[in-house]
């Protein structure tokens, strides 16, 4: 195995560790409490400690870190809309999350944190292994912006935070923590659609959380940058893109120096796949060049794109 081959997949490996570590982090306080590791059980004489009294406790919708409450911004917006009350506590809980993802990259949540995306990546891998052919893009990727706006508007209309009643992220949380299957049907539907209908259709085009984070994504300071001189136009990056291959086109054509679309998950699959080291993460958001540097000519010696590859 060459050094270059060993380097391939490094970002994805780190990302897998982070994704799994976060799942463990969200499960641990309740599991530890169940075993009595965080304090006494009810029923004894000792004061009862609850997980909520620990350093960290919660779910992806609502958590407490060192006593500071953090809320999923889309859930907070739905609750505010459904209750017709812009409760300051809600906004204070959602603001740090919005600012953090806004600064980094909105959809870094999808690529590095969301357990549904992790399951979606596993489904994508399974689909390739089974040789199931599906459409690359059955639904336009920006549809999720409309879905996000729709769930907030509908929440205001019916007085219930509608997406939270069937949010598959919540279903994963409840399943992991309590073994609860309520809401699991949405998760199953998402994975079946990914497997049999269109590649990663939920995360790419339908998830309203992805829609909100896409809207934030255009301000993010962590970006994939391209070295046009190094690129050999082999399109391997497009074949593995978790968001949508089209988001790489402005960079590949020489129009831009970074992947600018708010859709980018900064997952690094393209960085890992590039055989020419032409893609790297960079901090900062350079302006789009006024005059586009010329994209290099395809290298006839470059290997053809391998088709959707394991991420
Ligand atoms: S452009 Fe690269 S980093 Fe962004 S979503 Fe696609 S593969 Fe991931
Ligand atoms: S994988 Fe690398 S060399 Fe191939 S098209 Fe993408 S950026 Fe260019």
Pocket of ligand 2 contains residue 237 by CB under 6 Å: yes
Is the Cβ atom of 231 under 6 angstroms away from ligand 2? yes
The atom number, within ligand 2, closest to the CA of 273 reads 1
Question: Which one of 213, 218, 224, 281 would you pick to mutate in the ligand 1 pocket, going by the greatest count of ligand atoms within 8 A of its CB?
Answer: 224
| CB of residue 214 inside a 6 A radius of ligand 2 | no
Residue 43: which pLDDT band, with cuts at 50, 70 and 90?
Answer: very low
**Residue partners of 217: CB distance under 8 A and separation at least 6:** 105, 106, 107, 261, 262, 263, 264
- Closest-CA residue, ligand 2 atom 3, reads 231
Give the CA count within 13 Å in the CB-facing half-sphere of 257.
14
Q: What number of CA atoms fall less than 13 Å from residue 226's CA on the CB side? A: 31
Q: In 133-267, where do the E strands start and end?
A: 222-226
For 300, phi and psi rounded to 5 degrees?
Answer: -60, -20
Q: Is the pLDDT of residue 168 over 90?
A: no
Q: Which ligand is nearest to the CA of 108?
A: 1
Report the C-alpha gap between 27 and 93 in whole angstroms.
21
Q: Which residues pair with 63 in a beta bridge?
A: 58, 70
Least confident of 75-84, 115-124, 249-258, 294-303: 294-303
- How far apart are the CA of 306 and the centre of ligand 2, in A? 12
Pocket of ligand 1 (CB under 6 A): 224, 240-243, 247-248, 259, 264-270
Question: How far, in Å, is the centroid of ligand 1 from the Cα of 81?
Answer: 33
- Quote the pLDDT of residue 7: 52
Work out the percent of the chain whose per-residue pLDDT is above 90: 59
- Say how many C-beta atoms besides its own lie within 10 A of residue 75's C-beta: 25
Q: Is 250 left (phi over 0), alpha (psi -120 to 50) or beta?
A: alpha
pLDDT for residue 8 is more than 70: no
**Cβ atoms within 10 Å, residue 227:** 14
pLDDT tens digit string along 189-211? Answer: 999 999 999 999 999 999 999 99
Residue closest by Cα to atom 6 of ligand 1: 241
Q: What is the pLDDT of residue 226?
A: 97
Mean local confidence (pLDDT), 73-91: 86
**Domains annotated on the chain, with CATH:** 1-58 (no CATH), 59-215 (no CATH), 221-311 (3.30.70)
Taking only the tens place, the pLDDT of each residue in 109-137 is 999 999 999 999 999 999 999 999 999 98
Between the two ends of the chain, the Cα-to-Cα distance in Å is 19
Tokens of 35: 């075993």
Ligand 1 atom index nearest CA of 107: 5
- Compute, in angstroms, the gap from residue 123 CA to the centroid of ligand 1: 18
The pLDDT confidence band at residue 157, using thresholds 50, 70 and 90, is very high
Lowest-confidence pick of 126-130, 184-188, 244-248? 184-188
Global pTM value: 0.83
């Amino acid at each position: 195995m060459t050094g270059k081959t060993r380097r391939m997949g490094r970002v994805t490996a780190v990302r897998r560790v982070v994704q799994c570590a976060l799942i463990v982090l969200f499960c641990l306080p309740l599991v530890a409490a169940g075993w009595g590791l965080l304090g006494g059980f009810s029923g004894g004489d000792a004061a009862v400690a609850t997980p909520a009294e620990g350093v960290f406790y919660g779910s992806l919708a609502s958590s407490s870190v060192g006593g500071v409450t953090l809320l999923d911004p889309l859930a907070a917006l739905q609750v505010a809309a459904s209750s017709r009350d812009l409760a300051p506590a809600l906004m204070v809980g959602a603001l740090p999350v919005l600012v953090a993802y806004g600064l980094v990259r909105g959809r870094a949540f999808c690529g590095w944190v969301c357990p549904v995306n992790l399951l979606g990546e596993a489904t994508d891998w399974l689909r390739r292994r089974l040789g199931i052919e599906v459409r690359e893009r059955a639904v336009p990727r920006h549809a999720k912006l409309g879905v996000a706006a729709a769930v907030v508007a509908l929440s205001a209309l019916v007085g219930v935070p509608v997406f939270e009643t069937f949010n598959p992220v919540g279903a994963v949380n409840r399943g992991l923590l309590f073994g609860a299957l309520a809401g699991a049907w949405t998760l199953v539907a998402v994975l079946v659609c990914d497997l049999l209908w269109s590649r990663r259709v939920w995360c790419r085009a339908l998830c309203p959380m992805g829609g909100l984070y896409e809207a934030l994504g255009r301000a993010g300071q962590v970006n994939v940058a391209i070295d046009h001189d190094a690129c050999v136009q082999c399109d391997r990056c497009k074949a593995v893109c978790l968001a949508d291959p089209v988001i790489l086109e402005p960079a590949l054509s020489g129009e831009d120096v970074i992947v600018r679309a708010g859709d980018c998950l900064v997952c690094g699959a393209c960085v890992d796949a590039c055989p020419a080291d032409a893609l790297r993460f960079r901090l900062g958001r350079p302006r789009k060049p006024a005059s586009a540097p010329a994209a290099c000519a395809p290298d006839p010696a470059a290997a053809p794109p391998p088709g959707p590859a394991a991420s």
